[in-house]
Structure 1
Amino acid sequence: MKASFPLLRRRVLRPDPSNAGMWAIGAGHAVTHAYTAALYLLLPFIAKDLGLTYSQIGFLLAVRQFMSTVVNLPAGIIVDTLGRRNMFMGISLLGMAVPYLAISATSAFWVLALCMALLGIASFLWHPAAITSISEMYPASRGYGLAIHELGANLGDTLMPLLTGVLLGYLTWRQVMSATVAAGVVLGVIALQTVIRVRRRVEPAANAPPAAGYLTGLRTLLRNTNLMILALVSGIRSFTQQGLQSFLPLYLVNDLKISAVLVGFYIAVVQVSGMVATPIAGTLSDRIGPKRVATAGMLTTSLAVAAFAAFDLGSAFVAALALVGFFVYSMRPAIFRWAIGVVPRQYEGTTVGTLFTTQALFSTLMPLIGGVIADRIGLIAVFYLIAASLVVGNFAMLAVPDLRRPAPTGEIAKG
C-alpha cells in the first residue's frame, strides 16, 4: 500500500514532458474558463450598473446554457465523423473572445443576451474536440489526461476571480473585460500551436464508421442505460457547479456585503481546492475505478453545501467553501472517465456531447429556478436546492457498475 503513494505523487505533481499535448489542451481549457470566471465575478457590478434583477441575471445565464445545450450533441457527432479537432478548438477560443468584447461595449439587455448565447456556443464547442483529442493522443492515461483538462479549467476559474477582484479596484468592469480578451487571445494561440505540433507525432485515429453505421450505433448508444444514468449524474453535478458560480458571488456581495477583492479570494478558495482535487481524482479513477471517486465527491459536496447554508460557520466558512470546491470538481473527471469506459472508442465524441448536453440542460434550469427563488425567498434558499439535488445524484449512481475499460463495439447496448 505504501508503495502506491510515491507513484500517485509522481503522477499528480510531476508533469511529464511527453504529455505536452494534454497540458496544452488543459491550458486552452483554462482560457475558456477564465472568460467565464471573470464574467461571474463581474455580474454583480454589471447588474448594478445596468439595473438588472436576479431574474434578469438568471435569464442571461440560462440563455448561455441553453445555447450550449443546442450545440453539444451535434458538436460531438461532428467531431466523431469529421475529425478536425484542432479547428474546432480554435473556433471555440475565437468564439469566446468576440462576444466578450461586445459585452464590454454595450448596455442593451438584448445585445447582452445575444452575446451570452454566442458565448454558450463557443465555450461548449471546446469539449468534444478537446476531450477526444486527449483520448486519442494519450489512450493509456485517459483518466489522468481528463484530470489535467479539468485542472486547466480550475486554474482559469481560480486565477481570474483573484485577478478580476484586484483589477476592479482600478478599472471599470468594461475595461476588465477588454483586458481579459487581450490575454486570452495570446494564451490561446500558444496552446493551440502546441497541440498542433504534438498531434503531428501521434498515430492517426481509426477511421470513423460510415454514416449509416454510425447512426445505427448512435441509436443503440442512446439506449445504453449506464450511459444515460451517468449523463443524468453529470447534469446534476453541473447543476451544482452552475448554482455556486452564479449565486455565490451575488450572495457574498449583496447579502454579506463583502468587497470585490475578498469575493475574488473566496471564489478562488473554491477553485484552488478543485485544482488540487482534479489530478488526484483522475489518477484514482484510473487506479481504483471512477465510481468510488464520484460517489465520495457527490456525498461530501451535499453535506458541505447544506452545512454552510444552515449554520453560521464564522471562520469555518472558508473551510466549508474549500471542501465544496475540492469535491464538486473531483467528480467531473471521474464521471467522464466512467462514461467513456462504457462505450466504444469511435463513439467517445458523441458520449462527451451527450454528457455535456445534459450538463447544459441542468445548467440552463439552475439560473432560471435559482433567480426566481432568490427574488421570492432569498439567496440562501438556492443552496438548499443544490444540496437536495446532490442527494438525488447519489442514489442514481448506485445503479451503475464501476466499469473501467472501454466496451467492445458489440457491447454498446449493455447496461
Structure 2
Amino acid sequence: MNANDRAITALVMLAHAAVHTYEMAVPLFVVVWLTEFDVISLGIAQFEVTTATLGVVVTLGYGLFGLGALPGGILVDRIGSRRLISACLLGMGLSYVLLGLAPSMLVVALALVLWGVAASVYHPAGLSLISKGVEERGTGLAYHGIAGNLGIGLGPLLTAVLLLFVEWRTVALILGVPALLAAVYAARANFDETAAVEDVAEGAAADGGSSKADAGVDSLGEFVTESRRLLAGGFLLVFVVVMCSGLYYRGILTFLPELLRGLPGFEPIPVTELLPASVGSALGVEAGDAQTISPQDYFYAGLLLVGVVGQYAGGKLTDRFPVEYGIAGAFAVLAVLALAFVPVAGMGIGPLMALGAVLGIFLFVVQPLYQATVAEYTPAGTRGLSYGFTYLGVFGVGALGGTIAGAILAFAGVAELFLTLAVIATAASGVGLYLGRAAGR
C-alpha cells in the first residue's frame, strides 16, 4: 500500500472501530435495562418494558443507523468523506454522553436515535473513501473490516469489564470520550480521496464522455434517475442479499446475551471466586460483595472478536474468488449454524463455544464479500449512493431483525427465532448463487 492508501486506511479503521464499539455495547445495556426500567412512559401512554417493547426501542436507533445511510451516501458524493466522518464521530460521542445522563427509557431512546443518525453516515463515507481512494481496495477492505471487528469485540468486552465496577450510565459516559477525541483527529487527516479513480476520470474526459468518478448526485431528478439505474440491474439482487444480512445479523445479536443468560454454564460468578484476596482488596472487592461476572457478556464479546478472522478472510477472498459464490457459500453455512444453535446449546457450554466461534467467523465473512460485490455492480461516480442503499438495507431494513427477534421471543420461542434466521440466510445464499450463474462466473 502507498502512503495515500495507508493514510485513508488508518482513518477508516479508527472510525469503523468506534462505530461498532458503540453499536455492539447496546445489547449489554439491554440486559440491564430489562431489570432497571419497568415502563416506557410517553406521557399519554405507558408500555411495560419487555423484550418486545425494548426491541422496538433498540430498532429506533439501529433503524436510523441504516435509514440515514442513503442521504449520507448522497452527501458523500457531494462534499466528500472527511467531513462526514468527523461529524459522525462527534455525534456518536455526544449521544453516549446523553445516554450516560438518561433518567428514563424515553431519554435512552432519544440517545439511541441521536447515535443512529450520527453513525448512519459512516459506512457510505468510509467505504466510498476506500473504493475511490485506495488502490489496493481488497486489502483496504480487509483492514477496515478487522478494525470494525476489533471495535465489535473489544468494545463489548471493555463495556462488560467496566460494568463490574461502575453503573451503566458511568460506562456510557466513559465510552463517549474517545469518539470526541477521534473527531478532532479525523478533521485534521490529510489524503487524496479520489486517488484510485483519477485515471479513470481523466480517461473518460479525454474521450469526451461524462465521467461520474466524482460528480455525485446534483438534484432530486438525478437521484431518482441514478437510483432507478442502480436498482434496474444486478444491484437490486445485491440489495436483497444485504437486507438478509442485516436481518440475520441484528436478529441473532440483539438479544443474544439475554438468551445465553438462562443456559446451563452461564450462571453469574461472584468476583471474589476469581480474584486472589490481595488483588480483590486492592480493587476494593471484599468477600461477601454482591458483584458478579456475567459469563454471557464475555461469550458475546468473544464471538464478536473472532469475527476479525472472518473479516480478514472475507476481504482476501474478494481478490481471489468470484464474490457471488463466496456469498452463496457463507450464507449457506450461516443457515446451518442457525439450525444447529438450539440443539448444540443443549449439549453444554463447550460445544456451544465451538459453534459460537464458527458463527462469529462466518457472521463477518459475508461483510467484505457484499461490500466488494457492491463495487462490482455499481459505477464509481455514484459509489456513495450505492453504499447508501447498501447500508439502508443492512442497518435500516436489517434493524427490523431486532424487532422480529424480540417479538418471536415474547410470543413464540428460541427455536422459532433460529428457524426464522435459517430461512433468511438460505434466501441470501440462493440469491448469491443466482448472481454467480447470471454473471457466468
TM-score by length of 1: 0.86
Q: 1:200 to 1:123 in 2, by over 3 A?
A: closer
Query: Per the alignment, in what secondary structure is the counterpart of residue 160 of structure 1?
Result: helix
**Higher mean C-alpha displacement, 346-355 vs 174-183:** 174-183
The amino acid of 1:378's aligned partner reads G
CA contact 2:129–2:194 (8 Å) conserved in 1 = no
User: Which one has a larger percent helix, Structure 1 or Structure 2?
Assistant: 1
Distance 1:301 1:200 in 2: 35
Which moved further from structure 2: 325-334 or 357-366?
Answer: 357-366
Partner in structure 2 of residue 58 of structure 1: 55
Q: Is the Cα–Cα contact under 8 Å of residues 374 and 380 in structure 1 kept in the other structure?
A: no
Bigger mean CA deviation after superposition, 360-369 or 146-155: 360-369
1:39 CA displacement: 1.9
CA contact (8 A) 1:71 1:121 kept: yes
Shift of 1:111: 2.1
* Residue of structure 2 in register with 1:116 after alignment: 112
Change (3 A) 1:112 1:132: same
Answer whether contact 1:278 1:333 (CA < 8 A) is retained.
yes
Can you give the 5+ residue segments of structure 1 that lack an aligned partner in the other structure?
1-10, 405-415
Structure 1 segment 13-412 matched on structure 2, within 5 A: 19-51=6-38, 52-80=49-77, 82-138=78-134, 140-190=135-185, 192=186, 196-199=189-192, 202=195, 206-208=213-215, 211=218, 214-215=222-223, 217-254=225-262, 257-259=266-268, 260-311=293-344, 312-314=346-348, 315-401=350-436
1:289/1:188 Cα in 2 relative to 1: closer, same or farther (>3 Å)?
farther
Structure 2: how far apart are the matches of 1:327 and 1:199?
33
Aligned-pair CA distance for 1:281: 1.2
Residue 230 of structure 1 contacts residue 335 of structure 1 at CA under 8 Å; is this kept in 2?
A: yes
Give the aligned partner of residue 410 of structure 1.
none
Q: Which piece of structure 1 moves more, 157-166 or 220-229?
A: 220-229
Deviation at 1:225, TM superposition (A): 3.2
8 Å Cα contact 1:143/1:334 also seen in 2: no
Would the alpha carbon gap of residues 98 and 264 (structure 1) be closer, same or farther in structure 2, given more than 3 Å must change? same
Cα offsets for 1:311-366 (capped at 9, x unmatched): 32321101101111101101011111011111111011111011111123432321
Distance 1:346 1:89, change over 3 A: same
Q: Distance in 2 between matches of 1:216 and 1:118?
A: 28
Name the CA shift for 1:203/1:67 in 2 (closer, same or farther; >3 Å): closer
Partner Cα separation in structure 1 for residue 343 and residue 55 of structure 2: 23
In the TM superposition, what whole-angstrom CA distance separates every residue of 1:65-93 from its partner, at most 9, and x where no partner exists?
3323432212112211x133111111111
Change in CA separation of 1:217 and 1:401 when aligned onto 2, cut-off 3 Å:
farther
Mapped to 2, the partners of 1:91 and 1:258 lie a distance apart of: 41
Amino acid in the other structure paired with 1:221: R
SS in 2 for 1:287: coil
Find the counterpart in structure 2 of residue 409 from structure 1.
Answer: none
Please state how far the C-alpha of 1:282 moved relative to its aligned partner: 0.9
SS of corresponding position for 2:14: helix
Q: Which amino acid aligns with 1:36?
A: E
Distance 2:341 2:301 in 1: 17
RMSD, matched Cα: 2.6
Output one character per residue of 1:357-398: Cα deviation in whole Å (capped at 9) or x when no partner: 112343232122211111122344322221221111111222
Instruction: Write the letter of the residue equivalent to 1:181.
Output: G
Q: What residue identity is the alignment partner of 1:169?
A: L
Residue 354 of structure 2 aligns with an amino acid whose one-letter code is A
C-alpha contact (below 8 Å) 2:93/2:178 kept by paired residues: no
Partner Cα separation in structure 2 for residue 210 and residue 328 of structure 1: 33
**Unpaired runs of at least 5, structure 2:** 39-48, 199-212, 269-292
- How many residues align? The count is 387
**Is the Cα contact below 8 Å between 1:62 and 1:363 reproduced in 2?**
no
2:318 touches 2:369 (CA, 8 Å); kept in 1?
yes
Aligned to 1:7: none
Q: 1:273 to 1:185 in 2, by over 3 A?
A: same
Q: CA deviation at 1:210?
A: 7.0
Larger radius of gyration: 2
SS at match of 1:401: helix
For 2:306, the aligned partner's letter is S
The one-letter amino acid paired with 1:229 is: L
| C-alpha distance in structure 2 between counterparts of 1:271 and 1:336, whole Å | 19
Residue 389 and residue 168 in structure 1: after superposition, are their counterparts in 2 closer, same or farther (change >3 A)?
same
- Percent of matched pairs sharing the same residue: 23
TM-score, normalised with respect to structure 2: 0.81
